């Protein structure tokens, strides 16, 4: 954002460093707070560069205050959502959106039901994090983790996702370590390979949700394009290269994918692989008939996997009272979706 301005005004490098330090690390609230720039330069900056390209629309806070969801308005009037999760161990995780809606159309996901309204720019992704960075810095804290698990499929907006990662990890900007990032994907193989080839070494989460091809296709249309066998092969190559454990996300839907036979198949699929399973109790969405698995089924499922040595966690449901839990991000005021579904991509 600052590069073009610096070029136009012929600014020396130290000016850019000053800008980055105050904008990203101190997380100033407006360009007026750029204290080590003169007023004239600040005024030109204010005229030519926007402090935020997203506009804050509404903020929702969960009753126990551990989750904050923000609805942002884009220039085109569409809205996106971002969630901050405050964990007890001082971790502050921002869950960013990378699209308006999502074209992938998984059957259990509210975002998918919205259709696709466009890709976000890297600037819009960075703005989401900076919004919370500013709030946290005021309290002597900061954003410690970023997860690409909000609206949209990161692999289908890869260039902008990668640009945003560069800004987050750049030592002169936010300087966050790659370990602090998680990218979640429903399984686009070529783009995933590209991400790794380009050097991404953060965490990877795969939305698996079914232990076999047939059921996966039913729940996730992407499985038809990128079958399970090929996906596992690409993931094996990634593990081989990085020796990093992959998180497999598995939404627990009553009677659909939570039966003992599914647990058995999943155990067979993952045993011997460097895997971690994250069971996500299904969060109800308005449009679907699915129900969340019972606590007992989830525990039983967990034990079957643990019995073969696969580590399992059950994702804490945070923010469901403000519709901020996984899969619930969908803004019903967005009206301009093209309705592009996966078949058209
Ligand atoms: N598009 C990416 C990232 C966003 S979704 C992906 O699919 O991986 C973040 C996670 O929430 C995914 O694992 C997704 O499958 C899960 N999810 C979607 N709908 C859900 C729901 N209704 N209940 C629980 N988890 C859901
Ligand atoms: Fe898109 Fe992910 Fe939702 Fe599927 S689960 S529709 S890929 S956001």
Residue 241: its pLDDT value, please?
95
Catalytic residue among 95, 106, 109, 326: 326
Is the beta carbon of 187 within 6 A of some atom in ligand 1? no
Residue 252: its pLDDT value, please?
97
Question: In angstroms, how far is the first alpha carbon of the chain from the final one?
Answer: 30
Q: Which atom of ligand 2 is nearest to the CA of 151?
A: 8
- CA nearest to 104, candidates 228, 222, 224, 251: 222
| Smallest CA separation from ligand 1 atom 8, residue | 185
Length of the chain in residues, anyone? 345
- CA nearest to 55, candidates 34, 43, 70: 70
- CA nearest to 43, candidates 30, 53, 54: 30
β pairing state of 99-101 and 116-119: antiparallel
Task: Measure the CA–CA gap between 33 and 225, rounded to whole angstroms.
Answer: 50
Residue 77: its pLDDT value, please?
95
| Residue 81 is among the residues annotated as catalytic for this protein | yes
Query: Helices (DSSP H) in 49-101: which residue ranges?
Result: none
Best of 111, 114, 156, 288 to mutate for ligand 2, by most ligand atoms within 8 A of CB? 111
CB 125 within 8 A of CB 96: yes
Best of 119, 184, 188 to mutate for ligand 1, by most ligand atoms within 8 A of CB? 184
Query: CA angle, 339 as apex, 285 and 248 as ends, to 5°?
Result: 50
Residue 339: its pLDDT value, please?
30
Residues 1-51, CATH architecture:
Orthogonal Bundle (1.10)
Task: Measure the CA–CA gap between 187 and 102, rounded to whole angstroms.
Answer: 14
Q: Residues with Cβ < 8 Å from 262, sequence gap 6 or more?
A: 210, 211, 215, 301
Is the beta carbon of 247 within 6 A of some atom in ligand 1? no
Instruction: Report the largest interatomic distance among the alpha carbons of the chain, rounded to a whole angstrom.
Output: 69
- Report the 10 Å Cβ neighbour count for 122: 20
Structure tokens at 311: 């580590």
Residue 343: its pLDDT value, please?
26
Q: Is this model's pTM higher than 0.95 or not?
A: no
- Adjacent-strand bridge partners of 332: none
Which protein residues are within 6 Å of ligand 2, measured from CB? 102, 104-106, 109, 111-112, 152-153, 186, 207
Residue 345 CA: which ligand is closest?
A: 2
Residue 318: its pLDDT value, please?
67
Catalytic residue among 81, 124, 160, 249: 81
Indicate the fold that domain 52-344 takes in CATH.
TIM Barrel (3.20.20)
Task: Measure the CA–CA gap between 102 and 337, rounded to whole angstroms.
Answer: 10
Tell me the pLDDT of the chain (345 aa) as tens digits.
Answer: 799 999 999 999 999 999 999 999 999 999 999 999 999 999 999 999 999 999 999 999 988 889 999 999 999 999 999 999 998 889 999 999 999 999 999 999 999 999 999 999 999 999 999 999 999 999 999 999 999 999 999 999 999 999 999 999 999 999 999 999 999 999 999 999 999 999 999 999 999 999 999 999 999 999 999 999 999 999 999 999 999 999 999 999 999 999 999 999 999 999 999 999 999 999 888 766 899 999 999 999 999 999 999 999 998 776 666 666 665 666 555 533 333 322 222
Residue 153 CA: which ligand is closest?
A: 1
Residues of the chain with CATH 3.20.20.70: 52-344
**For the CA atoms of 68, 71, 72, 74, what is the dihedral angle to 10 degrees?**
160
Residues of the chain with CATH 1.10.150: 1-51
């Amino acid at each position: 954002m600052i590069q073009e301005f610096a070029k136009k005004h012929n600014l020396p490098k130290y000016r850019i460093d000053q800008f980055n330090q105050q904008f990203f690390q101190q997380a100033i609230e407006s360009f007026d707070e750029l204290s080590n720039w003169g007023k004239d330069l600040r005024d030109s900056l204010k005229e030519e560069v926007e402090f935020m390209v997203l506009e804050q629309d509404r903020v929702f806070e969960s009753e126990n205050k551990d989750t904050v969801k923000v609805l942002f308005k884009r220039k085109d009037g569409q809205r996106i959502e971002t969630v901050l999760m405050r964990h007890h161990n001082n971790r502050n995780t921002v869950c960013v959106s990378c699209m308006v809606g999502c074209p992938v159309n998984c059957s259990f996901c509210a975002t998918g039901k919205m259709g696709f309204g466009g890709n976000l720019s890297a600037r819009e992704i960075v703005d989401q994090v900076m919004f919370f960075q500013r709030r946290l810095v005021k309290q002597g804290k900061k954003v410690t983790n970023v997860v690409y698990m909000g609206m949209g499929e990161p692999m289908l907006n890869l260039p902008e996702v990668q640009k945003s990662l560069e800004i987050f990890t750049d030592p002169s900007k936010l300087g966050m370590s790659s370990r602090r990032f998680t990218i979640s994907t429903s399984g686009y193989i070529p783009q995933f390979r590209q991400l790794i080839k380009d050097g991404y070494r953060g965490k990877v989460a795969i939305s698996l949700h079914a232990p076999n091809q047939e059921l996966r296709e039913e729940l996730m249309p992407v499985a038809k394009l990128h079958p399970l066998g090929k996906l596992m092969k690409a993931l094996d190559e990634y593990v081989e290269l990085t020796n990093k454990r992959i998180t497999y996300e598995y939404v627990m839907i009553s009677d659909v994918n939570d039966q003992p036979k599914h647990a058995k198949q999943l155990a067979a699929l993952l045993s011997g692989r460097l895997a971690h399973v994250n069971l996500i109790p299904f969060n109800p969405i308005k449009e679907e008939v699915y129900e969340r698995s019972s606590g007992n089924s989830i525990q039983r499922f967990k034990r079957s996997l643990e019995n073969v040595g696969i580590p399992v966690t059950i994702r804490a449901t945070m923010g469901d009272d403000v519709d901020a839990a996984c899969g619930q991000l969908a803004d019903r005021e967005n009206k301009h979706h093209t309705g592009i579904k996966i078949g058209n991509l």
